[in-house]
Amino acid sequence: MSLRSDNVKIGAERAPNRSLFYAMGYTREELERPLIAVVSAHSEIVPGHFHLDKIAEAVKAGIRMAGGTPVLVPAIGVCDGIAMGHIGMKYSLASRELICDSTETMIMAHQLDGAVLIPNCDKIVPGMVMAAVRMDIPAVVCSGGPMMAGRYDGQKVSLSKLFEAVGAYKAGLIDEAKLEECETGACPGCGSCAGMYTANSMNCLCEAIGIALPGNGTIPAVSNKRMMLAKHAGMAVMEMVRRNITARQIINEKSLRNALACDMALGCSTNSVLHLLAIAHEAGVELDLNLFNEISAKVPNLCHLAPAGPTHIEDLDACGGIPAVQSELLRGGLIDGSALTVTGKTIAENVEGARVLDPEVVRPLENPFSKTGGLQVLWGNIAPEGCVVKRSAVAPEMLKHTGPARVFDSEDTAIDAIYKGKIVPGDVVVIRYEGPKGGPGMREMLNPTSALAGMKLDKTVALITDGRFSGASRGASIGHVSPEAAEGGPIGLLRDGDLITIDIPNASIQVDLTDEEWAARKKAYVAPEPNVKTGWLARYAKLVTSASHGAVMKG
């Protein structure tokens, strides 16, 4: 069969190219086989990536067993938890584009025939998938797997509990000893943080969309089954190369709808909206925010994983994992079982025989946590192009809320006010100039949301922002307000005391202002100076699109 790698290894004119492979110890026999990129985000700064060197070795073994030659190449990755609450978080979402571009660069520059993508954390997963779809090559995602839940105060916990413990400590609800107990117990080892945060959301959705093998999203990082999965991923990509199954045959309108349905059933992170929009953009599929609400209205929320509830990814795995969720959705006719996957089989074939083993971890369609999905898109005069909330993590009493705005022009000033006790029940905290362009980089707001939760204000205070939230956030946390303030969006015109009404069931967010008042504020508005004027973030700010379009780069 004809291979892309023939461009660097076949014919007399490629003797110089071959000599460079020989310089690294590759043999003639290895060069006669397909060359498969093993794109690993291994580093010693991200718990989710700390062990990916072992995963990569297992993937390479699988590729060799199936008759290919693995070629290890690197990818960067930001740890959102370590980057949280300071300038580092400006780099996180923006790094998705670097990961996509650099993955494309390494594979195309060296003309590799396929790829096993080994990410684990938030922006690395979608960045690699975007690259695979852009190049339309045979590709399999093999994540590093979730962290086991930690222990604190006699309960299973994950990282979100620690962020909330900081808020509780600031409010005097716990002492320093309890904070330290949580600090040392919340994250017991390697893997992506144990709740249904963005990393695990995207790793589960890679299964749902068909670009990863069953088990990718839920098998724990420390399990022997994770190493087996890695070997099978290496074997699977070789079969894709032989059959010429490429990323765009798998990721298309049908599979994206399947992913959205699983998203709603699982109660995934709001960041999944950004990433699915970006993946769809690379796949050439029209996907807009209206579709999220359309599917949310049909697909019930079946899971309340942390931070929405007490269960963790390890519990979802023990319950049957994503195949169990898919089997339940198939039973209700809520996903298309004919969609192709990297196994070479359809979704329906992959999940045949799968079933839910614990109806409290994955509830049946007849007894969901809610009849609508985990995410909701809202529109109104604050967000003409939409904004997003993780509905499944909102307390029932906050699904509808009216209160006065408390307006802040950065996350830093907002968190300072929260820690100093200046936010009171009923308030609507507004954080702006934190969008893709204004941040730049659209920082996650886990510190303010978890502080409010830790202070027991998550059932009385709402937060809206043109930035975004961690998957670990809970409460009436409404992000991705578009257009953002830095693009002249209405959120930039809000003032302290403005009465804001949030109606999540009816997909509405409004501020009580007359047309005359809007016009007067627009006339008086003076745009602030950019937050960042140098480095690649300044270039990013000039090229990035709205969150309502996935915060992708302009063509």
Supply the residues annotated as catalytic.
470
User: Quick one: which of 125, 104, 115, 124 has its CA closest to 56?
Assistant: 115
Tokens at 223, concatenated: 């399990």
Residue 164: left if φ>0, alpha if ψ -120 to 50, beta else—which one? alpha
Q: Of 3, 553, 550, give the one whose Cα is nearest residue 256.
A: 550
- Tokens 């349905």 belong to 261
438: helix, strand or coil = coil
Under DSSP, the state recorded for 403 is E
* Tokens representing residue 508 in the block: 């509405």
For the chain, helix, strand, coil in percent to 5 are 45, 15, 45
What is the C-alpha to C-alpha distance for residues 458 and 294, in angstroms, rounded to an integer? 27
Rounded CA separation 143/484 (Å) = 33
The bridge status of strand 155-157 relative to strand 150-152 is: antiparallel
Structure tokens at 534: 């140098």
- For 151, phi then psi, to 5°, come to -130, 135
Indicate the length of the chain as a whole number. Answer: 555
Answer yes or no: are the C-beta atoms of 470 and 92 closer than 8 Å: no
Beta bridge mates, 71: 37
Contact in structure between 233 and 62 (CB atoms under 8 Å): yes
Of 365, 541, 363, 518, the closest CA to residue 442 belongs to 541
Question: Can you spell out the DSSP letters for 3-31?
Answer: -TTHHHHSSGGGHHHHHHHHHTT--HHHH
CB of 214 closer than 8 Å to CB of 246: no
C-alpha distance across the termini of the chain, in Å:
34
Q: In angstroms, how far is CA 352 from the centroid of its own chain? A: 27
The secondary structure of residue 149, as a DSSP letter, is P
